[in-house]
Structure 1
Amino acid sequence: MKTKFFALALATGLFLNSCSSSDDTTPVTPPATGEIKGDITTNVTYPYGNYTLNGVVKIKAGATVTFEAGSTITIDKKTGDNALVVLKGAKLITKGTADKPVVFTEKSKLPGSWGGIIVYGDAPAKVAGGGTTGTSEDGNKISYGGTNPTDNSGSLVYTRVEYAGAKLADGDKENNGFTFYSVGSGTTLDHLVSYKGADDGYEFFGGTVSLTNAISYGNTDDSFDWQDGWQGQANTNWYAYQTGKGNYGMEIEASSNDNAFFPKVSNITLKRAAGNTPESSDNQVDAFQFKKEGNGEYSNIIIDGYGNFTTPGGVTYKGSAVSILDGVTNDHQVKTGKIKLLNVKISNTTNINPIGATDAIIVVFPTGNFVTSATATGASLTPGAWATVDGVDLTK
């Protein structure tokens, strides 16, 4: 048995150090330690412990990797490109709990220090031009887009990713805290935190997976973002807090394909801290931004803090609860009733009613499709260690 375990450790790059005393009446096993590196090709369970992740670690098809509750996985950007990649046909399972989350963090605590968690599934996508497959922009250059809407890439529960958003290899853009390529509805994403990354908190490229009880905190681009025909239907309790630097609360698009994907999200809170500034290349300040045929139904929403933004040069950009970026989206999605925002409570925001990105885009929602309210409650999340960083409760 020892020989088999040692062989498994070599195959996965894992070396555990633990000790116990036969003299103890109640043995206490200390946290395991070890390094995770290279490709993982067989099933591995990492017991509760403190690990380091070194390099771009890929979980290959047929393998399942499990992290037990309370484990911390630390990355050091000085080692180069780092990320945890779940390939199509593989599974990642994190067994965090409210008081013992699984945490992926980075040694320097600087946004953009590693590539985060990247998951590939086998669910459908619809990319620009109407195609069903695309090539990932994460530096891995992997084809995505499948045929199984209920595909299962694992279960991420009570898991936090900190300081992600690095560009890997020759990737077209930065990565996110969590990135999902064609991930299917058989996958569980629940009680996740994306904390202080250098791009989006969460980004979906196609797929059918849903996300529940999610926090995007202090990410420098958008809190929630999707394209390529993502169509999750059971999303609820999304909380975003944009502080320091950040663009849109939610960036919603469908890669310029007229569609009826109609994702659904209920119980949403989008907050922008005083003094928050957008990225210099964007200068747009919207809670909800729809473009390239994005649509969907959103309900029980709190929007706070999306006021106008004036650059140091004196140029003012409109802050809005809802912005429609292009005339095609206005014609095909707004006017046909495929965008609904219901029970919306708005404060400290310049433009309460939906606006167009330019004066030429006249936005008028059909009756009943944009409804404000004084009683919306937004996201409802239970505090705990899963949502606490350096003593700060991220749910407030």
Structure 2
Amino acid sequence: MKKFALSLAFIALIFTSCSSDDTEETVKTPVTGEITGDLTVSKTYAFGNYTLKGFAKVASGVTITFEAGSTITADPSNGEDAFVILNGGKLIAVGTATEPIVFTATTKTAGSWGGIIMYGDAPIVNSATAAAPQTATSEDGLVLPYGGSNAAHNGGTLKFVRVEYAGQVITQNNKEQNGFSFYSVGSGTILENLVSYKGNDDGFEFYGGTVSLKNAISYGNSDDAFDWQDGWRGQESTNWYAYQEGAANYGMEIEAKGVNNAFFPKVTNITLKRAAGTVTEAQTEIQLDAIQFKAEGNGDYSNILIDGYKNQTTPTTKNGGVLQIRDITTYNNQVVGGKIKLTNVTINNSDNIFISGATTFTVTAASFSPAANWGVTTTATGASLTAGNWSTVNGASLIK
């Protein structure tokens, strides 16, 4: 009886092994569809290829989900496009390193569409005299209010998402969009492993809020790689990688709308690289810095690797620098006042360390108070990112 039972078990094992070996891997077939207009009902978009037409707006109380590997393609031939998450709405776009979710454009040209725009009601500051909570009006052409008192606002989860060819500029300095635009987005929102690729404005821009950004690549964007205003105060941001080429402004542009805040953002593990021959986007300004502080911008930054911010000789002569302090108020209140901290900074292939934005002050290492707020080393490693399909375009890795 025991022998018979053992024989049955052995036969079952053989058939199980054969069945496992003969099983073919399931190949998913992408669906197709169109996304447009006001999205007023929660929906999951299955793995597929979708055409984005116009401003698709996720309404308050609605959750829109995209499955991993999906591609959403803007078609600018039909007018202005963007994917907008209104305050109270949520976007769940969770890709993987091998199957990212990609938002792109048919034209493959910078500035073809408006990118991802998210609204919340987390705190902002744009006035030194107005009482909290403060609000402002968006500069994306939608002219929507943002700001509030909900620091934990949750606009959803974005992981392994790449935005390509965004940064639509309709009216310079008035109606502009970026790769990712975060208007008073709160700390309940998860932003991880995001790529902004070859846009015509900023890669990532924060308009106040408390959200943090982890594992981010800003590659080939025409304005700033990372930019913020309105007192953005994310505390857990890490692993930021910027590569600037062609025409570009700052690696990081930091401002706080002229308000001397008691709070500040914190970012660790930063790499800012500028390709040889890269010129400034706006030739009328000194915009060749890895990092620029202005209008009371401040913050705590550490483990920073900076490479390639050299002097520009053509089409006009400009100084290249690691750090520019734009105005005397920022110099006095934030640098001397001890609210700008940059530690473990390694500088390669850059002509100047400091640039003063006015003749009324001179930035030096001795300007920082306490002295430990500025620290140059040779050991900074910068951003630590894992390569994969999420960070690869046309077969080329974006992590250089």
Query: What TM-score do the two structures reach when normalised by structure 1?
Result: 0.90
Q: Assess if the C-alpha contact under 8 Å between 2:328 and 2:358 holds in 1.
A: no
Q: How does 1:327-342 map to 2 (within 5 A)?
A: 327-342=328-343
Q: Assess if the C-alpha contact under 8 Å between 1:283 and 1:309 holds in 2.
A: no
Deviations 1:148-191 (A, max 9, x none): 10110000000000000113589813210000000000000000
Note the C-alpha offset of 1:311.
3.9
Q: How does 1:119-268 map to 2 (within 5 A)?
A: 119-128=118-127, 130-131=129-130, 132-167=134-169, 172-268=174-270
* Partner AA of 1:392 in structure 2: A
- Partner of 1:146: helix, strand, or coil? coil
**Which ranges of structure 2 fall in alignment gaps of 5 or more residues?**
1-22
Note the C-alpha offset of 1:310.
2.6
| Corresponding residue of 2:17 | none
Name the CA shift for 1:152/1:161 in 2 (closer, same or farther; >3 Å). Answer: same
* Partner AA of 1:296 in structure 2: G
Q: Assess if the C-alpha contact under 8 Å between 1:130 and 1:257 holds in 2.
A: no
Note the C-alpha offset of 1:357.
1.4
Q: Assess if the C-alpha contact under 8 Å between 2:36 and 2:53 holds in 1.
A: yes
Q: How does 1:99-118 map to 2 (within 5 A)?
A: 99-118=98-117
Q: How does 1:7-156 map to 2 (within 5 A)?
A: 29-128=28-127, 130-131=129-130, 132-156=134-158
Q: Assess if the C-alpha contact under 8 Å between 2:248 and 2:278 holds in 1.
A: yes
* Partner AA of 2:357 in structure 1: A
Name the CA shift for 1:130/1:99 in 2 (closer, same or farther; >3 Å). Answer: farther
Name the CA shift for 1:28/1:101 in 2 (closer, same or farther; >3 Å). Answer: closer
Name the CA shift for 1:26/1:159 in 2 (closer, same or farther; >3 Å). Answer: closer
* Partner AA of 2:338 in structure 1: G
Name the CA shift for 1:170/1:322 in 2 (closer, same or farther; >3 Å). Answer: closer
> Is the counterpart of residue 368 in structure 1 residue 372 in structure 2?
yes
| Equivalent-residue separation in structure 2 for 1:244 and 1:253 (angstroms) | 25
- Partner of 2:121: helix, strand, or coil? coil
| Corresponding residue of 2:19 | none
Deviations 1:279-315 (A, max 9, x none): 1343411001000000001000000111112343xx5
| Corresponding residue of 2:397 | 393
What is the root-mean-square deviation of aligned Cα atoms in Å?
1.7
Q: Assess if the C-alpha contact under 8 Å between 1:93 and 1:156 holds in 2.
A: yes
Note the C-alpha offset of 1:360.
2.2
- Which moved further from structure 2: 161-170 or 220-229? 161-170
| Equivalent-residue separation in structure 2 for 1:104 and 1:344 (angstroms) | 34
Q: Assess if the C-alpha contact under 8 Å between 1:70 and 1:102 holds in 2.
A: yes
Query: What TM-score do the two structures reach when normalised by structure 2?
Result: 0.90
Aligned residues: 370
| Corresponding residue of 2:385 | 381
Q: Assess if the C-alpha contact under 8 Å between 2:48 and 2:69 holds in 1.
A: yes
Name the CA shift for 1:78/1:296 in 2 (closer, same or farther; >3 Å). Answer: same
| Equivalent-residue separation in structure 2 for 1:182 and 1:255 (angstroms) | 14
The share of aligned pairs that are identical, in percent, is 59
* Partner AA of 2:307 in structure 1: D
| Corresponding residue of 1:282 | 285
Q: Assess if the C-alpha contact under 8 Å between 1:133 and 1:145 holds in 2.
A: yes
Name the CA shift for 1:394/1:29 in 2 (closer, same or farther; >3 Å). Answer: closer
| Corresponding residue of 1:7 | none
* Partner AA of 1:304 in structure 2: D
Q: Assess if the C-alpha contact under 8 Å between 2:202 and 2:227 holds in 1.
A: yes
> Which one has a bigger Cα radius of gyration?
2
| Corresponding residue of 2:302 | 299
Name the CA shift for 1:25/1:228 in 2 (closer, same or farther; >3 Å). Answer: closer
| Equivalent-residue separation in structure 1 for 2:319 and 2:303 (angstroms) | 24
- Partner of 1:309: helix, strand, or coil? coil
